[in-house]
Structure 1
Amino acid sequence: MKMHEKNLKITIEEFDKIYSKYYSQLFYYAYGFVEDSETCRDIVSDVFGQAWENIERLERATIGSYLYSCVRNKCIDYLRHDQAARQYVEYLQDVVEDDEGMTPEEYEERLRIVKQIISELPPRTRFVLEQCYFNNKKYQEVAEILDVTSSAVKKHIMKALSILRERLSVIKS
């Protein structure tokens, strides 16, 4: 029985063939969820990285469904995080934007507080936030500057916006 089980497992040599066979299929599958080619490349690469780390547990018969399932789940996670990031940005705009009864001094004070919070962010997180939101650079552009993935840039954005939201909610209440 052990000999039969061993034949079902994927060998390291077979992994290259699996990668070649599935990479573009998975890329276009991801693109059906996330219409950003750089993000799709990151997602598919992450899935293959995860598969490589778990190669001893993967089986030939189920590798295709495993890869598609992982890509689908990572796309859904990405979309959830992306939605959260948009909500944070909208929240920040609401906090800083001119309320009906807000005086120019109150507006300036809110803006000063936001700038202060941003200045206290960890340096790399602050850099990413400034590049993406103040210099209008795309995640991929910032990723290339820092020599990281666009997913890492996205995580810094989420961290920055989370800190801003948390600190501003304390101040606003």
Structure 2
Amino acid sequence: MAKLLINTTILEELFKEHYNSLYYHAQSFLSNPEVAKDIVNDCFEEVWNKRNQLDISYSLKSFLYSMVRNRSLNYLKRQEVEKKYISRTLHSSGYGEDEYQDYDSVLDEIRKAIEELPPQGRSVFKKCFIENLSYKETAEELNISVNTVKTHVTNSLKKLRHDLDRDLLLFFLHVSKKK
């Protein structure tokens, strides 16, 4: 069977045809519609970014459904680890459990701080710490130098240190390296 070549037309057709069903597939695992949208969008983005390396000689639809399922399950696992880590961190730092009963609000604080980073810095930071790409892989994917990646990471960490409580930043960095 010949290797499927993915171009913009094919990807746009796949997006239009399967986005809603993939979104509902993600929603069947998750309770957060925004996270479900992000996961589906990230899957399409990854297919596009790796279109030359992917060997999808079978159904691209099946491949997308598997990606969405796996990312949804990984997200749920990370959430569970994050909640346990927050609980331990807050307990050891002297915060009362009643002060942080809503772990999702703590996670939202971290996400919000990341979203407030400058666009290029945010993109580099997410690739390095959320997608766990190396500096070299990030540089290649974004068509920038490794030194530029290092600069963006340094500047992003400085801003996050300023914007977030020390324990929250340490928590995020710890959890992101576990993935």
TM-score by length of 1: 0.56
Structure 2 partner of 1:66: 63
Looking at structure 2, the residues matched to 98 and 91 of structure 1 have their Cα atoms a distance apart, in angstroms, of 10
How big is the shift at 1:97?
A: 3.8
- In structure 2, the CA distance between the partners of 1:63 and 1:164, relative to structure 1 (3 Å rule), is closer
**Alignment partners' CA distance in 2, 1:43 and 1:20:** 16
1:98–1:24 Cα change, 3 Å: closer
Q: Among the aligned pairs, what percent are the same residue?
A: 22
Write out per-residue CA displacement over residues 2-21 of structure 1, whole angstroms, 9 at most, x where no aligned residue.
xx726x54443211100111
8 A Cα contact 2:2 2:57, kept in partner: no
Contact map agreement 1:33 1:75 (CA 8 A) in 2: yes
Aligned to 2:171: 161
Question: Given the superposition, is the C-alpha separation of residues 78 and 51 from structure 1 closer, same or farther in structure 2, using an over 3 Å criterion?
Answer: same
Match of 1:93 in 2: 90
Give RMSD over aligned pairs.
3.7
| Structure 2: unaligned runs, 5 residues or longer | 97-104, 131-159, 161-166
> How many residues end up aligned between the 2 structures?
125
Aligned residue in 2 for 1:78 = 75
Alignment check: 8 A CA contact 2:6 2:48 kept? no
Q: Name the CA distance, whole Å, in 2 between partners of 1:5 and 1:70.
A: 22
- Relative to its length, the structure with more helix (as a share) is 1
Q: Distance in 2 between matches of 1:138 and 1:32?
A: 25
TM alignment of 1:33-52, pairs within 5 A: 33-52=29-48
- Determine whether 1:145 maps to 2:145: no
The alpha-carbon deviation at position 93 of structure 1 amounts to 2.6
- AA at the equivalent of 1:53: N
- Quote how far apart the aligned CAs of 1:95 are: 1.2
Q: Deviations over 1:119-161 (max 9, x none)?
A: xxxxxxxxxxxxx64xx95566445433548x94x95898621
The answer to whether the aligner puts 1:53 opposite 2:49 as a matched pair is yes
Amino acid corresponding to residue 66 of structure 1 in structure 2: F
Structure 1 unaligned spans of 5+: 100-131, 166-173
Larger Rg: 1
